[in-house]
Amino acid sequence: MPVEAREIRLASRPTGWPTAETFEFAEVELPSPGSGEVLVRNAFMSVDPYMRGRMNDVKSYVPPYELGKALEGGAVGEVVESGVDGVSPGDLVLHNSGWRSHALLTRFTKLRPIEGVSPSHFLGALGMPALTAYVGLLDIARFTPGETVFVSGAAGAVGGLVGQIAKLKGAKRVIGSAGSAEKVKHLTEKLGFDAAFNYRDGKVTQQLLAAAPDGIEVYFDNVGGDHLEAALWAMNNHGRVAACGSISGYNEEKLPPGPRNLHQVVTKRLTIRGFIVSDHNDRFQAMIDEVSAWLTAGKLVAEETVVDGLDNAPAAFLGMLRGENTGKMIVRL
């Protein structure tokens, strides 16, 4: 049976911060699924920092969003009608057609629900953000037990998992930075960070050196800018940086200057390595196995900030870019 679907399209490419003019709502009729297709009603959709990059018309690791077309992104949908063997109405699937109420899909992953775990976590603590944290910490930064780890954007979807996974894997000390006193408290009191600071309270370098008197071995970089500079000062010899993102610069119209102390990379024999999570899907099952065990054992906190309604998805996205979320920012449809 055809359905009336609502979707959010890219109305114009933002310069600097996205605004209301960036988005437009539209209605489309979706037909019944043909063979090989499923029709889903989205239950949850994700808003993520990388989406800001896709709004620019530049060649990158994912193609830019197209003007006048629906945005895309991770979502969990419930199957309404199925043209695929083994998939039935009521099944939950993970797919990339977020930013809309319903979607007709050919590519999706059928989810196996986990007792007591919200399906929304397949967009967070059991999804792309978790794989990002897992691969970045273990494979890219090659974290080993007994090391001290610093993570920026620590109250975000990825950062909170990096710190918790590091502790669960035997870190000596885990330090996080975030943008409010409330988030700092959340990190130390709820997520088990050994230390945390509010980067708005003073120079990042001074705050980090105070929190890491013996230096750090690993820095998981979500923000770039002055945080990277601070981490380079605090690094011990042979330290590693997993470069995951630089949200501090995503909405800048001019490129911000880089760290002034890159010479530390030479004198301390540091490694800075960038990565894109989609290159590492071969690690998805290992992540799911470990993280779901921690989650069901109550050893890992899967924090979410939930916004209700497709109408509020643009606001949720902007709020995430401004750091209004604690944990994964989720839109519940």
Are the beta carbons of 75 and 85 closer than 8 angstroms? no
Are the beta carbons of 177 and 197 closer than 8 angstroms? yes
Task: Find the part of the chain contacting a copy of itself (CB under 8 A) among 28-36, 64-72, 88-96, 257-265.
Answer: 257-265
The least distance separating a copy of itself from the CB of residue 34, rounded to whole angstroms, comes to 36
The correct pick among 103, 130, 228, 231 for binding a copy of itself (CB under 8 A) is 228
Query: Which of 111, 276 has the CB closer to a copy of itself?
Result: 276
Residues 56 and 162: their CA atoms lie apart, in Å, by 28
Q: Restricting to residues 266-295, which ones interact with a copy of itself according to CB under 8 A?
A: 266-276, 279
Maximum pairwise Cα distance, the chain: 66
The least distance separating a copy of itself from the CB of residue 228, rounded to whole angstroms, comes to 7
Q: Restricting to residues 42-71, which ones interact with a copy of itself according to CB under 8 A?
A: 53, 60-61
246 near a copy of itself, rule: CB under 8 A: yes
245 near a copy of itself, rule: CB under 8 A: yes
Query: Which of 63, 170 has the CB closer to a copy of itself?
Result: 63
Number of residues that bind a copy of itself (CB under 8 A): 35
Instruction: State how far the alpha carbon of 45 is from the alpha carbons of 279, 306, 312, 314, 324, in Å.
Output: 22, 10, 11, 12, 17
DSSP state of 330: E
The least distance separating a copy of itself from the CB of residue 308, rounded to whole angstroms, comes to 32
Amino acid at position 170, single letter:
G
Are the beta carbons of 312 and 330 closer than 8 angstroms? no
Residues 271 and 36: their CA atoms lie apart, in Å, by 45
258 near a copy of itself, rule: CB under 8 A: yes
Question: Which two three-digit tokens encode residue 87?
Answer: 């998939």
The least distance separating a copy of itself from the CB of residue 55, rounded to whole angstroms, comes to 15
The least distance separating a copy of itself from the CB of residue 243, rounded to whole angstroms, comes to 5
Are the beta carbons of 300 and 125 closer than 8 angstroms? yes
At residue 288's C-alpha, the angle toward residues 271 and 95, to 5°, is 100
16 near a copy of itself, rule: CB under 8 A: no
Which candidate, 149, 155, 146, 5, places its Cα nearest to that of 81? Answer: 5
Query: Which of 53, 83 has the CB closer to a copy of itself?
Result: 53
Residues 11 and 68: their CA atoms lie apart, in Å, by 6
The least distance separating a copy of itself from the CB of residue 59, rounded to whole angstroms, comes to 9
231 near a copy of itself, rule: CB under 8 A: no
Task: Find the part of the chain contacting a copy of itself (CB under 8 A) among 26-34, 114-122, 224-232, 314-322.
Answer: 224-232
The correct pick among 256, 281, 286, 293 for binding a copy of itself (CB under 8 A) is 256
Residues 287 and 285: their CA atoms lie apart, in Å, by 5
Query: Which of 121, 227 has the CB closer to a copy of itself?
Result: 227
Query: Which of 160, 225 has the CB closer to a copy of itself?
Result: 225
Torsion angle defined by CA atoms of residues 127, 181, 244 and 52, in that order, rounded to the nearest 10 degrees: 80
Instruction: State how far the alpha carbon of 265 is from the alpha carbons of 18, 138, 162, 268, in Å.
Output: 35, 20, 23, 6
Helix, strand or coil, per DSSP, at residue 329: strand
Query: Which of 226, 290 has the CB closer to a copy of itself?
Result: 226
The correct pick among 11, 26, 43, 265 for binding a copy of itself (CB under 8 A) is 265
| Site of interaction with a copy of itself (CB under 8 A) | 53, 60-61, 224, 228-229, 237, 243-246, 249, 255-276, 279
